[in-house]
């Protein structure tokens, strides 16, 4: 298959292998309040957009504010993130698309400053022509930002590839009319990913041989 002219990457759970980090941060909050912790299968099945829907499964949001949740999650995330959490195969695939001349962008629901800091810290920053993060914790604008970037930087929708780990990434690709590949190693369950009908892979290395 010919190389995409534009590759739109998700960040958390796609470029960064941080599902275990997120799970531990959530469980820290549950332990703090004497609530039962959740396992990885539960975590992945609860994931939704906006992220407040995830927390509705484990907290009464009338008793704890979302701002408090966001602040405590961020503290736990920094506590549990490893020294080099780059997803297996990410650098190889980034290098592959760079050699093929693809425009590469991160389009994420995480905050802009968090992504930029992480991409620099983990040696990924130089691979990207553009990084677009959210300006709040509610992750409402990912599709709109992707549409604006596509209009400015991509020739046609059928030459765009979206790589992510959640159903929301498929929804981004659908809005663009783009190709989509979803990774099972991230934050959402294989079951939910397969229900989209798009291509699902277990490793980023599986993608490399698809595009030449």
Helix spans in 81-129 (H): 90-99, 112-121
Tens digits of per-residue pLDDT, 43-64?
Answer: 999 999 888 999 999 999 999 9
Six-digit token pair at 23? 């799970």
Indicate whether 195 and 109 sit together in one domain: yes
Tens digits of per-residue pLDDT, 186-203?
Answer: 999 999 999 999 999 999
pTM of the model: 0.94
Instruction: Give the CATH number, domain containing residue 105.
Output: 3.40.50.1000
The neighbouring-strand residues paired with 106 are 9, 131
Tens digits of per-residue pLDDT, 52-111?
Answer: 999 999 999 999 999 999 999 999 999 999 999 999 999 999 999 999 999 999 999 888
Indicate whether 12 and 29 sit together in one domain: no
Structure confidence at residue 139 as a pLDDT band (50, 70, 90): very low
| 185 in a structural domain | yes
Domain end, chosen from 38, 60, 80, is at 80
Q: How many domains does the chain have?
A: 2
Better-scored residue on pLDDT, 99 or 141: 99
Indicate whether 188 and 99 sit together in one domain: yes
d(CA 210, CA 200): 13
Provide the domain limits for residue 95. 6-18+84-208
Indicate whether 121 and 185 sit together in one domain: yes
- Among left, alpha and beta (phi > 0; psi -120 to 50; other), residue 198 is beta
Residue linked to tokens 């650098």 = 91
């Amino acid at each position: 298959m010919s190389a995409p002219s534009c590759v739109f990457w998700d960040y958390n759970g796609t470029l960064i292998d941080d599902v275990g980090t997120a799970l531990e941060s959530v469980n820290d909050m549950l332990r703090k309040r004497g609530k039962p912790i959740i396992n990885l299968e539960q975590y992945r099945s609860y994931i939704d957009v906006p992220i407040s829907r995830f927390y509705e499964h484990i907290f009464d949001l009338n008793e704890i504010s979302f701002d408090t949740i966001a602040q405590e999650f961020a503290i736990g995330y920094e506590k549990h993130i490893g020294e080099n959490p780059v997803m297996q195969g990410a650098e190889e695939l980034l290098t592959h698309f760079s050699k093929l001349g693809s425009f590469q962008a991160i389009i994420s629901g995480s905050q802009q400053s968090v992504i930029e800091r992480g991409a620099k810290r983990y040696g990924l920053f130089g691979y990207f022509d553009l990084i677009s993060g959210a300006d709040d914790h509610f992750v409402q604008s990912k599709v709109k930002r992707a549409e604006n970037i596509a209009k400015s930087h991509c020739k046609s929708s059928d030459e765009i590839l979206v790589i992510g780990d959640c159903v929301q990434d498929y929804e981004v690709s659908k809005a663009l009319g783009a190709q989509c590949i979803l990774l099972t190693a991230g934050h959402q369950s294989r079951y939910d990913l397969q229900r989209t009908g798009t291509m699902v892979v277990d490793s980023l290395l599986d993608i490399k041989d698809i595009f030449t």
